[in-house]
Chain A
Amino acid sequence: MTDFDQDTLTKSKATAAAACGWNFIVLMSRQGKIRLSEFFSSYTESQKKRILRDIAADVLPRQAKMCNIIEKGEYKFVYRRYASLYFIVGAPVEMNELIVLEQIHLFVEALDGYFNSVCELDLVFSLHKSLMILFEMFIGGMLCESNRREVLQQIVEAEELVEQMTKPGEDTSSQLDDGLSFQEQFQLGRKPGARGPRGNR
């Protein structure tokens, strides 16, 4: 995207999140691999790249005891680490850092509820599911549903509907479907117990 596009962009995705919601969320593994990223406000490609670079440079090396906030001018990173995975949220400066931390945790709880004790690989393989949960909870970066049960119900309902709505001839196979059956992953060579790259460390 060129700089020229910037204008159009500002008009489209808007400055919506301004002061009230997240600007972006990035899940990054400890070795700097992006596991999920979603930008709620508009950024150009180069800005996105810079943000990701900054995260890798600023967040990953921080020690556990340091505070979970890094100010970067017009936004700040608020991050939380779960095992080897960092959840990094870009929040506007005025936003309450602690509540962002709790919102991250709320999201993680929801993921945990859905994947039943979530691990990094779950997120990688069902990227779209994680994103759906994210969108169910945060629309345009604003928290719109804080009731975990409600969120999961939405997702599960949708999955159940698949069954009812698929036509006879269509390939429905299993509801574990969308290529995300974990049993099969194991069969395909993933060693049981090795949950994510953490084991490799």
Chain B
Amino acid sequence: MSGMHLSSEFFELIKAIGESKSKQEEDRIIAKEVATLKRKLESGSAGGGGGGGGAGGGGIGIGGPSLGYIPGAPMLPGASGAAGGNALNTNKKKAREFLVRVLYVEMLGHDGSFGYIKAVELAASQSIIHKRTGYLVCSCCLSPEHEFRFMLVNQMQRDLISSNLLECCGALIAVTNLITSDLVGTVSTQVMGLLEHTAETVRKKAIIALHRLHQLAPDIVTKQEVTEKVRKLLCDRDPAVMGSTLNVIETLARVDVQPFKDLVPSLISILKQICERRLPSEYDYHRIPAPWMQMKIVRILSVIGKNDMACSEGMYEILGECLRKAEEAGINASNAIVYECIRCITNIYPNPVLLDAAGASISRFLSSRVQNLRYLGVTGLASIVERHPKYAADHQLAVIECLEDRDETLLRKTLDLLYRMTNPVNVVFITDRLLHFLRGSTDPYLKSDLTTKICNIAERYAPNNAWYVQTITELFRIAGDLVDPVVATNLMSLIAEGTGNEDDDEEADMVLRKQAVELYVNLLSNPPNRMPRVLVETLAWVLGEYGYLSSVMPLDAIIDGMCQLLQSGSTARLGGGSPSTRRLILSAIMKMVAQYGSCPAAAAKVIDDYTKSSDPDAQKRCLEFQAILTQSPQLLVEVFPVDASLEDVEVDINLSFLDGLVSEAISNGARTYQKQEDDEDDYVNAVATQTASAFKMTPYEKPSEKAYGHGAMHGMGSSTMGPGGAANVALPPGNPSGAGSMPTVSSPTNQLTNPGEPQLVLRNVANVWGKQATPVAVQPAPAPFASSVSTFANSTTAPAPAGYGGFGSSTPAAAPPVAPVKTAEQLEKERLAAALFGGISGAPPPPSQPASYRPSAIASPQLHQTISGPVKSDVRSAPTPAPAPVAPPPEVDLLGFDMDTSTTTVSHTSSVDMFAPMPMVNEPSHAPPVAAPSPKPAAPPPAPADPFAAAGLLDGFADSAPLQPISDALDSAKFEFGGSPIAPLTINTPQFGQRWGQCPSTHPISVASSTRSNTLSKFMELCVRAGLHKVEEIAATNEGIAACMAGGGSSVALVHGKISPLPGGASSRVDVTVKSSDPQLGLSLSMYLQNMIR
């Protein structure tokens, strides 16, 4: 603290940092420095703030919080004037050094916040240099949300109107750096006033500050105001003010060019004057007259002249002159102007003479030895080549040379150029080059950029499909992690669909598939060390679907290869080895086994291994497959149909195959299904909870998915739990009085519970759902499991024989009724519960609920058995409708859960044995969500069924296929029919197509739309706002389809829209066809849409 100048401490600090060898060492030094600085500050607050600081508000020390918001800030100057105490207070220079050191600490990435208060204090200093240091440190260090900024605002306000222009300037700089949107109002008037200041140095800062304020709060400092001021200052007599105004004009014009169009003549005349050296020579830079301003003006002209022939024409002359003069000088600064002119010339309305001049400049750049100029040359060429490809021809050699350059920046630009030059002729070569560079690249940004580019040009210019498949596969191999998953989907649909020409190209499609298969077979036989996930999954899908087409390798060898891949243990080859990838490979193996007709030993082993997998999904697949294979191998072909990935899965949404059961149940005295009053709401809920919980919990509090999942899981150490847990969870509070059957049911359940082990989660659940639910923790005694079930079954079947007779008869096993019985009680007890479970009386879903929700590991053998009963009979007795729904389920089902149940494995291994002999054939029928949603009435109007159907249609491969989103919020803009808003009809495209033909009434409209729906997305948005469900938006053909229903599902309406842009740009013609089951609905909807579109 001795010296008055640079303290030796500071010098030593800098020296130590300069000599430090590592970041760690530097950090240590800085930590020490921070401690020193804090000490200084503290000693200051103790001595100076407490004792000597006599002035008002004294304590400058650390008391940040106590300072808080200072109303008038009298304290700051007061504090700074305080005498005595410590050196930081008395000696401004010390304080300043302190701040510089804080700044230094901050710059090296450490926290210097303890010193901020000092900076704020110094900003209030009388001395301008101290003040500026204070502002400076605040600008650099204070984050905009720091509370000290409130303290500074006051100071800034005063400095802005100070007569000392240095104070003004300091404050203006601080304003630009520190003001936040909430504080704009406090300084905007002052800043505005400074635009008229006599000193040009203030004006030039004020305009930028004003612009910043406008950006922060466009409502306080309006665009109009700024534009007005800017136009005035452009004509300022001082060149510097004009120069800084140009910055603002450029930024504003990039947002909205309109207000500046008429400035073209002024700008041109300014540029002309600059070119003619009319500015003071002080503005020259290396003898180029104000290159910054020239460049800025050219940039602004480029923005204004874009797509505007009239404006552009005015610029040609001056651009030519500017370019020529800059070319003459030949130094860096002038090259910058040349480059800017090139960009401007290629951007504005083209002029052949200028384009030629630009072309000449580009070739000069390209042939330069200076890397920077070559870089600019390549960039310039890229900008000109898109619209004027002829200029590329002269520079082929130069471009190739750049490609061989070691400089990566140049290389990248050249690759970008190549990308822009791509056309159908050179696409193969260019893609090859890009792939080559992608292979050698390590930079993540370059890699993702190249990947996107390759995808783009391959898609746009692919000479043939085989090439496309090959290229994309190679891309997957090199950079699979970076590829958009959509590309993989496209690739697979290309292989599946072929060219899309249905009639003539079937043969070509087969050739393509064959090529693809061979490509992947080769990949399989020589797998690279690392295979990205997307590659593995595509490979699995292609071979799974079309493995039989392979001619290079027999199918069983492919199966072996896949098994090896799966078991190789190298996760790198498995794209990270995620469970879903493994599942896909398993599915592929199964599909190929189905194609092959018998199960090779390797596949059998793999599948057997995976029956013990910890992934419940994979395990389920394998168990099902084993069951099918052992029980009824003839079903394999139906379950894994060949080349059927494109076929629509028909789902009998009415569950008509259960009609027999229903009528039987009714004839035995069961209640018929009561349609819920609040159909629509239930609908949404049903869809929403469909995937979450098979049990309808709507009447109670919203069930926490997680809690339920756990409950199910823990509760069911073994499968017995299914019905038991379900029953308990579902019990409404205080219900026992309901059905006569109830007590009997609940009591055995209670007996089953193991009071010693109530599960945490379950308790929560119990709290949510009522007292009765507490016993949920049915802990099946490990051994008695079979017997307990039978008790269970007996006790439950007894009370409700009438309603569920149908089951009983078709399935000897007693278990299934368990769930239904519970439901029956609830039906009687609680209105909502009745609504939820109502459908059950007519259909067999209840047993399938647990199955479709839980991992198969948990699904009890009993359940399987019982379920298999009815469904099996269905499959066999009615083979025609059955196959389709049966095929997809295993996978659909698998989509549903991602639960990882480590606990299940144990219990599972034991159940496997019991499992094998079970008639597993119909396991799939657990899966289809069709069966899952319990409330589905057997014979309701068709519409309400749809939401579920949507889920059932997910096709086998689509592990990632999104469920149709449920339209949520009701919108005021909704279209109303018959006094109530229409409801979105959640269907998918195939269903849409199906219904399209069924709707009797058609209402076509054709409207010219200017703005409201001149693009497809706007049109679709409009439909969604009206209350329709967006089924699909086909950007390629500019078509979109949407669907809705009215009257609670009694009538449906389908909308098809096509947008065709009209010549002239802005407006489009919208052709809409509304089809409806109800002519009234169709008519009014079409009229409504017509109005909305217009």
Partners in one complex: yes
Q: Which residues of chain A come closer than 8 Å to B282, judged between CB atoms?
A: 147-150
B371 at the interface (CB under 8 A from A): yes
> Which of chain A's residues has its CB closest to B170's CB?
A158
- Name the contact of B371 in the complex, choosing from A67, A102, A161 (C-beta under 8 A): A67
The size class of the interface chain B forms with chain A is: 35 or more
Q: Are A99 and B371 in contact (CB under 8 A)?
A: no
Query: In the bound complex, how far is the Cα of B129 from the Cα of A108, in angstroms?
Result: 22
Residues from chain B with Cβ under 8 Å of A159 in the complex? 129
Which residues of B are found within 8 Å of A162, using beta-carbon distances? 127-130
CB distance from A118 to the nearest CB of B (A): 16
A169 to B82, CA, bound (A): 12
In the bound complex, residues from chain B placing their C-beta under 8 Å from that of A135 are 136, 139, 173, 177
Contacts of B179 in A (CB 8 A): 12
A136 / chain B contacts, CB cutoff of 8 Å: 173
Contact of A117 with B by CB under 8 A: no
User: Is B209 engaged at the interface, CB distance under 8 Å to the other chain?
Assistant: yes
On chain B, the residues within 8 Å of A124 by CB distance are: 14, 18
Docked complex Cα distance between A19 and B249 (Å): 12
Minimum C-beta distance from A80 to chain B (A): 10
Contact B166 A161 (CB under 8 A): yes
Question: Is there an interface contact between B336 and A178, defined as CB atoms closer than 8 Å?
Answer: no
Q: In the assembly, what is the distance between CA of A145 and CA of B169, in Å?
A: 13
A86-130 interface (Cβ within 8 A of B) = 96-99, 101-103, 106, 121, 124-128
Q: Report A-chain residues with C-beta under 8 Å of the C-beta of B374.
A: 67
Q: Contact flags (1/0) for A59-73 with B, using CB distance below 8 Å?
A: 000000111111111
Task: Indicate if A33 sits at the interface (CB-CB under 8 A).
Answer: yes
Q: Are A127 and B107 in contact (CB under 8 A)?
A: yes
B-facing residues in A131-151 (Cβ within 8 Å): 131-132, 135-136, 139-140, 142-150
Query: Interface readout for B367-395 with A: 1 if CB under 8 Å, 0 if not?
Result: 00001101110000000000000000000
A178, B93: Cβ atoms closer than 8 Å: yes
Q: Are B4 and A144 in contact (CB under 8 A)?
A: no
Inter-chain contacts of A36 with B (CB < 8 A): 107
Complex interface: chain A residues within 8 A of B11 (CB): 125, 185, 188-190
A201 at the interface (CB under 8 A from B): no
Is B340 interfacial (CB 8 A cutoff)? yes
Please pick, from A11, A69, A185, the residue contacting B375 in the complex, using a CB distance under 8 A. A69
Assess the A146–B292 pair: CB atoms within 8 A: yes
Q: How far is the CB of A97 from chain B (nearest CB, A)?
A: 7
Q: For residues 528 through 567 of chain B, which have their beta carbon under 8 Å from a beta carbon of chain A?
A: none
- Please indicate the chain B residues that have their CB under 8 angstroms from the CB of A68 in the complex: 371-372
Taking a contact as CB atoms under 8 Å apart, the answer to whether A143 and B372 are in contact is no
Q: Is the CB of B205 within 8 A of A179?
A: no
B955 within 8 A of A: no
* A19 adjacent to B250 (CB under 8 Å): yes
Stretch at the interface among B240-248, B772-780, B919-927: B240-248
Contact flags A3-17 to B (C-beta < 8 A → 1, else 0): 001001101111110
User: Which DSSP category, helix, strand, loop or mixed, fits chain A's interface?
Assistant: mixed
Give the CA-CA distance A23 to B83 in the complex, in Å.
42
> How far, in whole Å, are A16 and B282 apart by their CA atoms in the complex?
28
Whether B247 pairs with A158 at a CB distance below 8 angstroms is no
Quick one: closest A residue to B169, CB to CB? A154
Q: In the complex the two chains form, is A98's CB within 8 Å of B407's CB?
A: no
- Partner-binding segment picked from B95-103, B604-612, B637-645: B95-103
Q: What 1/0 flags go to B951-975 for Cβ under 8 Å of A?
A: 0000000000000000000000000
Contact of B247 (CB < 8 Å), options: A20, A37, A150:
A20
Given contacts A99-B291, A170-B92, contact A49 B109 (CB under 8 A): yes
B176 part of interface (Cβ distance < 8 Å):
yes
Q: Residues of A contacting B410 with CB < 8 Å? A: 66-67
Inside 8 A of B96's CB, which chain A residues have their CB? 128, 178-179
A143 / chain B contacts, CB cutoff of 8 Å: 243-244, 247, 292
Cα distance, A180 to B133, chains bound together (Å): 14
Cβ–Cβ < 8 Å partners of B268 in chain A: none
Contact across chains for A66 and B445 when beta carbons are under 8 A apart: no
Contacting pair A101 B166 (CB below 8 A): no
User: A144-B205, A181-B5 in contact; A20/B250 too (CB < 8 A)?
Assistant: yes
Q: B91 an interface residue at 8 Å Cβ cutoff?
A: yes
Residues of B within 8 A of A72 (CB): 445
Q: Indicate whether B525 reaches chain A with its CB closer than 8 angstroms.
A: no
Contact check, B132 vs A173: say whether CB atoms are below 8 A apart: no
Assess whether B372 is in contact with A147, with CB atoms less than 8 Å apart: no
Inter-subunit contact B412/A146 (CB<8 Å) = no
Check if A96 sits within 8 Å of B14, measured CB to CB. no
Q: Is B980 an interface residue (CB 8 A)?
A: no
Q: Is B1066 located at the chain interface by the 8 A CB criterion?
A: no
Bound form: Cα–Cα A3–B340 in Å: 37
Question: Is there an interface contact between A37 and B107, defined as CB atoms closer than 8 Å?
Answer: yes
Q: Are A125 and B145 in contact (CB under 8 A)?
A: no
CB within 8 A of B208: which of A66, A139, A149, A154?
A139
Q: Is A174 an interface residue (CB 8 A)?
A: yes
Q: Are A144 and B104 closer than 8 Å at their CB atoms?
A: no
A124 CA to B11 CA, complexed, in Å:
10
Give chain B residues whose Cβ lies under 8 Å from the Cβ of A158. 128-129, 132, 166
B5-A14 in contact (CB<8A): no
Given A102-B336, A125-B14, are A65 and B372 neighbors across the interface (CB < 8 Å)? no
* A146/B290 in contact, CB under 8 A: yes
Contact A127 B103 (CB under 8 A): yes
Chain A residue numbers with a CB within 8 Å of B36 are: none
- B1-59: which residues lie under 8 A (CB-CB) from chain A? 3-8, 10-11, 14-15, 17-18, 26
Given A20-B247, A98-B335, residue A184 in contact with residue B3 (CB < 8 A):
yes
| Complex Cα spacing A9 to B144, Å | 7
Q: Which of A132, A179, A197 makes the CB contact (< 8 A) with B132?
A: A132
The answer, yes or no, to whether B1075 is at the interface (CB within 8 Å) is: no
| Bound Cα distance A193, B196 (Å) | 49
- In the complex, which of the residues B17, B83, B127, B285 contacts A102, with contact meaning CB atoms closer than 8 Å? B285
Contacts of A157 in B (CB 8 A): 166
Contact A11 B240 (CB under 8 A): no
Which among A13, A37, A145, A180 is the interface contact of B240 at CB below 8 angstroms?
A145
**Does any Cβ of A come within 8 Å of B621's Cβ?**
no
**For residue B164, which residues in chain A have a CB less than 8 angstroms away from its CB?**
161
In the bound assembly, the distance between CA atoms of A86 and B108 in angstroms comes to 16
Provide the residues of chain B in CB contact with A181, threshold 8 Å.
5-6
Tell me how far the C-beta of B134 lies from the nearest C-beta in chain A, rounded to whole angstroms.
10
User: Chain A contacts of B339 at CB under 8 A?
Assistant: 96, 98
Contact B292 A70 (CB under 8 A): no
The CA of A144 and the CA of B206, in the complex, are separated in Å by 10
Q: How far is the CA of A73 from the CA of B448 in the complex (A)?
A: 10
A45's closest neighbor in chain B, by CB? B109
CB of B107 within 8 A of CB of A34, answer: yes
Chain A proximity of B319: nearest CB distance (Å): 15
Q: How far is the CA of A174 from the CA of B4 in the complex (A)?
A: 9
Chain A residue nearest to B133 in the complex (CB): A128
Chain A positions within 8 Å of B90 at CB level = 171
1/0 per residue A28-60: CB within 8 Å of B? 000001101110001000001100100000000
B254, CB-defined interface residue at 8 Å? yes
Q: Which residues from B are CB-within-8-Å of A12? A: 144-145, 179-181, 216
* A1: chain B residues within 8 A (beta carbon): 143
Tell me if B144 and A8 are in contact (CB < 8 A).
yes
Contacts of B140 in A (CB 8 A): 38, 131
For B240, what are the chain A residues with a Cβ–Cβ distance below 8 Å? 144-147, 150
Is B137's beta carbon under 8 Å from chain A? yes
Q: Which residues of B contact A150 (CB under 8 A)?
A: 201, 240, 282
What is the CB-to-nearest-CB distance from B662 to chain A, in angstroms, rounded to a whole number? 55
Q: Top 5 closest A-B pairs, CB basis?
A: A12-B144, A98-B336, A67-B371, A179-B6, A144-B244
Task: Please list 16 pairs of residues, one from A and one from B, whose beta carbons are closer than 8 Å in the complex, sorted by A's number.
Answer: A16-B212, A19-B250, A20-B251, A37-B107, A67-B410, A98-B376, A101-B372, A132-B132, A143-B244, A145-B240, A145-B244, A146-B290, A158-B129, A171-B4, A173-B5, A181-B5
Known: A66-B406, A158-B132, A179-B93. 14 other contacts (CB 8 A): A12-B144, A14-B215, A66-B409, A73-B445, A98-B333, A127-B104, A128-B99, A131-B136, A135-B177, A161-B128, A161-B164, A162-B129, A171-B92, A188-B6
